[in-house]
Structure 1
Amino acid sequence: MTPTVILTRPQAQSERFAQALRAQWDGPIEIIHAPLIKIVPVAASCAKPDAVIFTSANGVSAAKRLGLLKGLAAWCVGSKTAELARAAGFEPITGPGDASGLVSAIVAAKPSGTFAHIRGKHARGDVSARLNAAGIRCEDVVAYDQVALSLTPEAKSAVSARQSVIFPLFSPRTATILNSAGPFVAQVQFVALSEAVKLAIAPEMSQQVAVATAPNGKAMLSATLQVLQKEIRRR
């Protein structure tokens, strides 16, 4: 049987991951796009900060809408977000790939001035609270919402069949939304971006959770390919 991978990120991000997966997977594969989150802008304002913090690519897009001045230092959670920040005119400083590590890096740098964390309604890591506790002034700017979506009919059909499906999950929020849709008839295998994502997966959903070696797209791609290879050998 052809292995099935269900991608739950917003469409544009899922399409990039699907393209990379197809390019490196030598064999048939079924990829189902089933976004579980829709990014919706919300009314927000932001005083002129000395630096910004982006813990997701969506924060970069939101910063554009807020009219933040180009040239600001932007502490970015990982390399992809840093690339987008640079393209938007910011001066990125690349973090280790997770919010907690980014906070630690900022605290260690002992920067002066005021920060603005441009984030979504659903966020983890207590970025602003931790920075303020460390004596670094940081404002929380909630500029978008991550609205939950239902699985698509195609995805529902796949998880209702007696087969194996693979879910690469990139955020605890996505894992939580998927929990509410399950458990499933299909044998589900997860690939988690981090331990935080793994912990968000309900135990009854699956006993098979692989965690990427680093919280970035490259490591997620590698981990997904490894799960696919194991699935083929199992069959």
Structure 2
Amino acid sequence: MPQPRLLLTRPQPGAAQFLDRLSPALRDGAVISPLIEITATGEPVDLSPYAGVIFTSANAVAHAPQGEGRPAYCVGPQTTAAAGKAGWQAQMDGLDAEALIATLSERPQIGPLLHLAGRHRRADIAGILGAAGLKVETATVYDQTLLPLSTAAQTLLKGPNPVIVPLFSPRSAQHFAREASSTERVIALSISRAAAQALEALPLYAHDVAAEPTGEAMAEAVEKLFRCTTLP
């Protein structure tokens, strides 16, 4: 079997940062074709009424004001690390939004909070936490515009090599399912069961789900899939 190639579809700079995590064999010949472009909305953010913020994405951190020591309740280690570097008093309260909701629902005294978020989000965190007694409002600080797969990506998918495709969100998985010209040689890796569901109708060579919804787990799974596919 030909050696598999890697196709990365996550937005920049995340795609390049993820590629840097991987072994040289995987980086060689990898194609980056973001399916989503992250852009600022320009919505003004006044932090003064709030005791802290919620971050469910590192993209939100990048488009938020500097923390200046304010509390930030975060999803996942990467978002938490990004918030810490941006001056927030950052703590991780779950690996995904559901875990964060469960944690903060038990702490109504920490509010009011502001969820700094993208325009497209799977859960109404403010609404759910509000029902649990924690006052939360939302500010949409970035947008996620869908992009087509590049010519280089489509050529790779139609070629003779297996193609490892990590998918980091349900929305990007849904868009990949619509965009991909050929998937018979795709080895898909989904970050979650929700993302995996978007690929159920596709004819795939193989499909796996990361052990947990983190960049580290995704990188480890990509390396494992590469080794399993290349070994005789």
TM-score, reference length from structure 2: 0.91
Classify 1:205/1:74 alpha carbon distance in 2 versus 1 (closer, same or farther; 3 Å): farther
Against the structure 1 CA distance between its residues 92 and 29, is the aligned structure 2 distance closer, same or farther, given a 3 Å change threshold? Answer: same
How far apart, in 1, do the equivalents of 2:205 and 2:54 lie? 35
In structure 2, the partner of 1:22 is 23
The answer as to whether partners of 2:108 and 2:135 remain within 8 angstroms in 1 is no
In the TM superposition, residue 15 of structure 1 has moved relative to its aligned partner by: 1.3
Give unpaired runs (5+ residues) of structure 2.
none
Correspondent of 2:190 among 183, 189, 192: 192
1:55 corresponds in structure 2 to: 56
**Superposition pairs of residues 176-191 of structure 1, within 5 angstroms:** 176-182=174-180, 184=182, 186-191=184-189
What is the 5 A alignment of 1:215-230? 215-230=213-228
Q: Separation in 1 of the partners of 2:166 and 2:137? A: 32
Tell me how far apart the structure 2 counterparts of residues 176 and 164 of structure 1 sit (CA, whole Å). Answer: 20
Deviations 1:49-88 (A, max 9, x none): 2110000001112212xxx652211001011111111111
Return the alpha-carbon distance in structure 1 between the equivalents of residues 157 and 37 of structure 2: 21
Distance 1:99 1:33 in 2: 27
C-alpha spacing 1:89/1:165, structure 2 compared with 1 (3 Å): same
Contact 1:161/1:186 (8 A) holds in 2: no
Cα 1:207–1:137 change in 2 (3 A) is farther
Q: CA offset at residue 128 of structure 1? A: 1.1
On the 8 A contact 1:59/1:120 being kept in 2, the answer is yes
Give 1:125 shift.
2.4
For each residue in 1:123-160, what CA deviation from the matched residue of structure 2 results, as whole angstroms up to 9, or x when unmatched? 11221111011111111111111001111111110112
* Structure 1, unpaired ranges of 5+: none
What is the number of residues matched between the two proteins? Answer: 229
Q: Secondary structure at the match of 1:168?
A: strand
Change (3 A) 1:125 1:206: farther
Q: Aligned runs of 1:24-103 on 2, under 5 Å?
A: 29-47=28-46, 48=48, 49-64=50-65, 70-103=68-101
Tell me how far 1:9 sits from its aligned partner.
1.1
Q: Name the amino acid aligned to 1:59.
A: A
In 2, Cα distance between equivalents of 1:200 and 1:98:
18
Query: Residues 127-138 of structure 1 correspond to what in structure 2 (within 5 A)?
Result: 127-138=125-136
State how far apart, in whole Å, the 2-side matches of 1:164 and 1:158 are. Answer: 9
Q: Within 1, Cα distance between the matches of 2:103 and 2:205? A: 34
TM-score (norm 1): 0.90
Query: Are the aligned partners of 1:44 and 1:142 in contact in 2 as well (CA < 8 Å)?
Result: yes
Q: What do residues 5-47 of structure 1 show as CA deviations (whole Å, max 9, x unaligned)?
A: 1001123211121121125x5x784311111111111131334
The 1-side partners of 2:167 and 2:10 are apart by 8
Alignment counterpart, residue 105 of structure 1, candidates 99, 103, 117: 103
1:183 to partner: Cα distance: 5.2
Deviates more, 1:179-188 or 1:151-160: 179-188
What are the superposed Cα offsets for residues 147-201 of structure 1, whole Å, 9 maximum, x if unpaired?
0111111111011224321101111121111111135154111111111211232
What do you get for the CA RMSD once the two structures are aligned? 2.0
1:5 corresponding residue in structure 2:
6
